[in-house]
Amino acid sequence: MELRHLKYFVTVAEELNFSRAAVRLFISQPALSRQIKNLEDELGVVLFVRQSDGLILTQAGQFFLAQAKNILNRSHVAVQTLKTDYTNTLEPLVIGYIPTILQTFLGQTLHRFGHTYPEVAVRLQEMPPAAQVRALREGAIDIAFMGNPPDELDEEFTVKCVKKVQIVALLPDNHRLAQESSINLAELASEKFIGMSEDTFPGRNDRIRGVCDEAGFTPNLHLFADSHASMITLVAAGQGVAIMPNEAQALPHPQVVFMPLHHPIYYARSTAMWRKETPTKSLDKYLKILFEHIQD
């Protein structure tokens, strides 16, 4: 049994629904069900009664829930106490990010942070949004920059909008509209669209559909990319068109045109996200720099 098994159990116990718990944990429902079944087998007790309308904690499950929460809280307190009272140096600042953000405000704030706090080491880890959420929960990173996260994460983490970025269309450079100065998104209503994998960018396709709905059509999402770079590659290969934040122009994009939209003019959030607990000293210093940048 590991701490992650306790986290899985507590989340399922709070939701009393495997589907909702799986969404919170960013894992698949079958995988979560297997983990809980394995936990029950290891403990030799039934923790949940499974019914058609959800789950009910057994008496053993109610007892184990209180113990699991206590263990998780004690482990968190122990780690934080060690970090606060038994280390003489500032721990590194570990940042998760998607590459489209590095070239904009993240690079600017890191430059200012390095100048102001040269004693703090910074570690950058490029990872898709779903991996950033898992890394935040596990304490593997201190802060995540994932673009536009699903709204439900606001309840679990502190989410701060750093800037708004205009949405543009991605077209292959030989597209019939590639030479226009801007287009109405509805002009692409008959095109095949490339979306993002729900495994790596959860919730992103809902936002794509929302933009297209504002333009009066439902997009035909027929392929799903696992990164911005692969989405650009698919567009360049003539596999469809796409929409994404304009800041992605910082990535290499041969044979692809970033086309401004004059209707609808739609913005995505570029956000920072961190755990709601008291931040580490290194993260606290970086947040001060970040908030100064937002005010600028």
Q: What is the CATH number of domain 93-162+270-295?
A: 3.40.190.10
pLDDT single digits (tens) 207-257? 999 999 999 999 999 999 999 899 999 999 999 999 998 888 888 889 999
- Prediction pTM value: 0.65
Do 3-85 and 93-162+270-295 show the same overall fold?
A: no
pLDDT single digits (tens) 152-201? 898 899 999 988 889 999 999 999 999 999 999 999 999 999 999 988 89
Write out the two tokens for 137. Answer: 């929960």
Q: Is 21 exposed, middle or buried (0-12, 13-18, 19+ CB in 10 A)?
A: buried
Burial 194-226 (b: 16+ CB within 10 A, else e): bbbbeebbbbbbebbbebbeebeeebebebbbe
Are 207 and 233 contacting, i.e. CB atoms less than 8 angstroms apart? Answer: no
The 8-class DSSP code of residue 106 comes to: I
CATH fold of the domain at 165-267: D-Maltodextrin-Binding Protein; domain 2 (3.40.190)
pLDDT single digits (tens) 121-138? 999 999 999 999 999 999
> Residue with structure tokens 């721990």?
91
CATH of the domain spanning 3-85, picked from 3.20.20.150, 1.10.10.10, 1.10.3720.10, 3.30.2290.10: 1.10.10.10
Q: Average pLDDT, stretch 263-292? A: 90
CA 219/CA 217 separation, integer angstroms: 6
Q: Where are the domains of the chain?
A: 3-85, 93-162+270-295, 165-267
